C-alpha cells in the first residue's frame, strides 16, 4: 500500500516531531559526506514561453532505506494569481524493493527541512556567544526559522525586518507570544545586518538585500530565501567574498546558487572557495569556523536529501499513528 500525506496530515505530524527533524537533517548531511547517501545535482526544466521552471530533486539514502524525488515547480506568475510561487510533491520508494512507499505534499516538508538545515548549520558555524538573531523576511519561512533556531540557544532577542509592515508586525507578535522572545522591528535590512550576531535572509529576492560593508567580524549568515536560480541572490559579492562559505551540497550550489555563481562569474570567487559542504563540517573532515572573528556563510540552496530525511520521519510516524490515506498503487 502507498501512503498519501496531505499538507494538513503533515502539519499535524510535524507538530510532534520538531525535536527529531533537526537530528534527521543533520544525519542526512553527515551520511552524504561519508558516502552513505547519493545526491545528484537537480536538472532544471525551464518551461518554453514562460518564466516558470521545474526541478527534479532526487536522492537516495542507505540508512533511511529510501530513494526519493521532489518535483519543485517555481512559477513566478502564480504571484499574480494569488497562488504560491513554489509548489512541490515528494515521491518516496523503498530502496530495497522499489515499491512506492509514499506521496507527500511538499510545502510543509520543505519549510521544516529548510529551517532545520539552518539550525544545524548555525549550531556548527556560529559563535557560541551569539545573542542577537536577525531575520530579513517575515513570511512563513521566518516563523519556521524562529521556531527552529531558538530552542536550546542563548538568544536574548530577535531583530526583524520585512517589506510588508502589517505582516512584519504580525510575525513579531507571533514570535513573542509563541516563543517568548523579545522582538525589535527595525527600519531595514542594513539595520538588521548591523545588529545581528546570526543573520538569516529569508526572501525570494533577485537583487541583493545585504551588503558586505554592513557585516561585522564574527557574524554568521544563513542565506536561505533565494530560489534555486543562478540569477537570484540575497547577499552581494563583497559580502560573500568576505565569508568562509559552507554549502549544503557543492554540486547543487554550483548549478543553482546565484549567491556563489554571480561572484564566480565576476572573477571575485573561485570554485574552491565554496567546495566545503555542511556534512563535511559535521563529519569533521573539513573545518567550520576557525576563529571568533571569522565571518561564516551557510549558502542554503535546499537539497532533495533533506526532503527524503523528513519524509522518512513522517512515513514512520504516520504508520505508527495510523494517519494519512493508503491506496493500492501497484503490485
| Identical topology for domains 2-109+305-327 and 127-303 | no
- Calpha distance 171→322 (Å, rounded): 34
Which residues have a Cβ under 8 Å from the Cβ of 25 and sit 6 or more positions away? 113, 116, 117, 120, 306, 309, 310
Q: What ranges do the domains of the chain cover?
A: 2-109+305-327, 127-303
pTM of the predicted model as reported, rounded to 2 decimal places = 0.94
Short-list 303, 296, 193, 289, CA closest to 245 = 296
pLDDT digits (tens, 9 = 90+) for 262-290: 999 999 999 999 999 999 999 999 999 99
Mean pLDDT of the chain: 95
- Calpha distance 188→135 (Å, rounded): 11
Short-list 86, 91, 115, CA closest to 101 = 91
- Calpha distance 30→185 (Å, rounded): 36
pLDDT above 90: residue 329: no
pLDDT above 90: residue 330: no
Is residue 100 classed as helix, strand or coil in its secondary structure?
A: strand
CA atoms within 13 A on the CB side of 45: 7
Residue 40 grid cell: 545528484
Q: Give the CATH number of domain 2-109+305-327; options: 1.20.120.80, 3.40.50.1820, 3.30.1780.10, 3.30.565.10.
A: 3.30.1780.10
pLDDT above 70: residue 331: no
Is residue 169 classed as helix, strand or coil in its secondary structure?
A: helix
Hey, CA dihedral for 180, 183, 189, 190, is it positive or negative? negative
Q: What is the largest CA-CA distance in the chain?
A: 60
Q: Which pLDDT score is estimated for 153?
A: 83
Determine which helix (DSSP H) or strand (DSSP E) holds 53, and give its type and residue range. Answer: strand 53-61
Q: Domain 127-303: which CATH class?
A: alpha beta
Enter the DSSP assignment of 156. Answer: -
Amino acid at each position: 500500500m502507498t501512503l498519501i500525506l496531505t499538507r494538513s496530515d503533515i502539519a499535524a505530524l510535524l507538530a510532534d516531531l520538531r525535536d527529531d527533524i533537526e537530528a534527521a537533517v543533520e544525519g542526512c548531511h553527515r551520511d552524504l559526506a561519508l558516502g552513505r547517501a547519493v545526491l545528484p545535482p537537480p536538472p532544471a526544466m525551464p518551461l518554453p514561453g514562460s518564466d516558470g521552471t521545474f526541478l527534479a530533486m532526487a536522492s537516495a539514502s542507505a540508512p533511511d532505506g529510501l530513494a526519493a524525488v521532489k518535483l519543485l515547480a517555481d512559477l513566478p506568475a502564480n504571484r499574480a494569481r494569488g497562488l504560491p510561487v513554489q509548489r512541490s510533491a515528494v515521491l518516496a520508494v523503498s530502496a530495497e524493493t522499489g515499491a512506492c512507499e509514499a506521496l507527500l505534499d511538499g510545502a510543509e516538508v520543505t519549510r521544516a527541512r529548510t529551517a532545520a538545515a539552518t539550525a544545524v548549520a548555525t549550531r556548527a558555524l556560529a559563535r557560541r556567544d551569539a545573542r542577537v538573531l536577525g531575520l530579513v523576511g517575515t513570511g512563513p519561512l521566518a516563523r519556521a526559522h524562529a521556531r527552529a533556531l531558538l530552542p536550546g540557544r542563548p538568544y536574548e532577542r530577535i531583530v526583524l525586518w520585512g517589506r510588508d509592515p502589517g505582516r512584519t508586525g504580525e510575525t513579531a507578535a507571533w514570535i513573542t507570544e509563541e516563543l517568548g522572545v523579545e522582538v525589535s522591528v527595525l527600519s531595514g535590512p542594513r539595520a538588521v545586518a548591523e545588529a545581528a550576531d546570526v543573520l538569516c535572509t529569508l526572501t525570494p529576492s533577485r537583487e541583493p538585500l545585504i551588503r558586505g560593508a554592513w557585516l561585522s567580524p564574527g557574524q554568521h549568515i544563513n542565506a536561505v530565501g533565494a530560489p534555486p536560480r543562478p540569477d537570484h541572490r540575497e547577499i552581494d559579492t563583497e559580502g560573500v567574498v568576505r565569508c568562509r562559505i559552507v554549502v549544503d551540497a557543492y554540486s547543487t550550489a554550483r548549478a543553482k546558487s546565484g549567491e556563489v555563481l554571480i561572484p564566480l562569474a565576476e572573477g571575485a570567487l573561485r570554485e574552491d572557495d565554496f567546495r566545503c559542504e555542511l556534512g563535511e563540517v559535521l563529519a569533521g573532515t573539513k573545518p567550520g569556523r576557525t576563529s571568533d572573528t571569522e565571518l561564516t556563510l551557510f549558502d542554503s540552496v535546499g537539497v532533495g536529501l533533506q526532503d527524503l530525511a523528513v519524509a522518512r520521519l513522517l512515513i514512520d510516524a504516520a504508520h505508527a499513528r495510523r494517519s494519512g490515506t493508503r491506496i493500492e498503487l501497484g503490485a
